[in-house]
A and B are shown apart, each in its own frame.
Chain A
Amino acid sequence: GQQLNQSPQSMFIQEGEDVSMNCTSSSIFNTWLWYKQDPGEGPVLLIALYKAGELTSNGRLTAQFGITRKDSFLNISASIPSDVGIYFCAGRGPPQGGNEKLTFGTGTRLTIIP
């Protein structure tokens, strides 16, 4: 199935640093979502974006819905140890037969170096 291109694939940062990751698609999406997955767990929703150009924050997390509707980015400010995990973007397309289906990005693995 289709996947979204997410970069970087992995990040190694020190505690306190800011983090930025992005997701791009060849298709237009109506909704962009960002999830975090811890090892052995299911993804947890962090932020949802519904309008092109929308900028939304959730605590130290900020995400934007690209104006072209083909991309989105997620920023994490002042990283802390519990930010470690895998971050996935997900897009939901214009209404078609599979309106509710999500397409997931390839993931960004965040590691904090002590």
Chain B
Amino acid sequence: GAVVSQHPSWVICKSGTSVKIECRSLDFQATTMFWYRQFPKQSLMLMATSNEGSKATYEQGVEKDKFLINHASLTLSTLTVTSAHPEDSSFYICSARDTSGSSSYNEQFFGPGTRLTVL
């Protein structure tokens, strides 16, 4: 149980275009999902907390107009990188917390990540 998927697994785009990344909780409902960014050989940095039915909460220094988050249902959150530039190239990882009690741990489970390369 507690499986989180992401799509696409990798994407290459031209500078100035927008890219949408999907995060789905496959076998549980998640009122809250999280979006992280990880640069090579670095740790995970939280970008924003995605709340179903309400606005996302962004971490300090993360531009909400550039990284649009939509949590339209209890199993889906999307991150759209708008007007992407080469410095946005990174590994984007989402997570969701299974609070139903069906998992051994009531903790954040992570998706497999999406590798974004902006040319």
Do A and B pair up? The answer is yes
Tell me the complex Cα distance, A107–B39, Å: 13
Residues 91-115 of B contacting A (Cβ, < 8 Å): 91, 93, 95, 97, 105, 107-113, 115
Q: Which of B43, B97, B112 contacts A104 (CB 8 A)?
A: B43
Residues 38-64 of B contacting A (Cβ, < 8 Å): 42-46, 49, 57, 59-61
- Asked if B107 contacts A33 (CB within 8 A), the reply is yes
A residues near B46, Cβ cutoff 8 Å = 1, 101-102
- Asked if A88 contacts B107 (CB within 8 A), the reply is no
B residues near A101, Cβ cutoff 8 Å = 34, 46, 49
Tell me the complex Cα distance, A40–B90, Å: 11
A residues near B95, Cβ cutoff 8 Å = 42
Main secondary structure of the interface of B (DSSP, over half): strand
Q: Known interface pairs A40-B113, A88-B43, A101-B46. Does A1 touch B59 (Cβ–Cβ under 8 Å)?
A: yes
A residues near B108, Cβ cutoff 8 Å = 33, 45, 100, 102
- Asked if A100 contacts B44 (CB within 8 A), the reply is no
Closest to A88 in B: B43
Question: How many of chain A's residues touch chain B, expressed as a range?
Answer: 20 to 34
- Asked if B44 contacts A48 (CB within 8 A), the reply is no
In the complex, B32 has a CB within 8 A of chain A: yes
In the complex, A105 has a CB within 8 A of chain B: yes
A residues near B43, Cβ cutoff 8 Å = 3, 88, 104-107
Closest to B32 in A: A100
- Asked if A48 contacts B105 (CB within 8 A), the reply is yes
Closest to A9 in B: B41
A residues near B110, Cβ cutoff 8 Å = 35, 42-44
Tell me the complex Cα distance, A42–B46, Å: 14
Q: How near does chain A come to B96, taking the closest CB pair, in angstroms?
A: 11
Tell me the complex Cα distance, A98–B43, Å: 20
Closest to B115 in A: A40
Which A positions have Cβ atoms within 8 angstroms of B? 1, 3, 31, 33, 35, 40-45, 48, 88, 98, 100-102, 104-107
Which B positions have Cβ atoms within 8 angstroms of A? 4, 6, 32, 34, 42-46, 49, 57, 59-61, 91, 93, 95, 97, 105, 107-113, 115
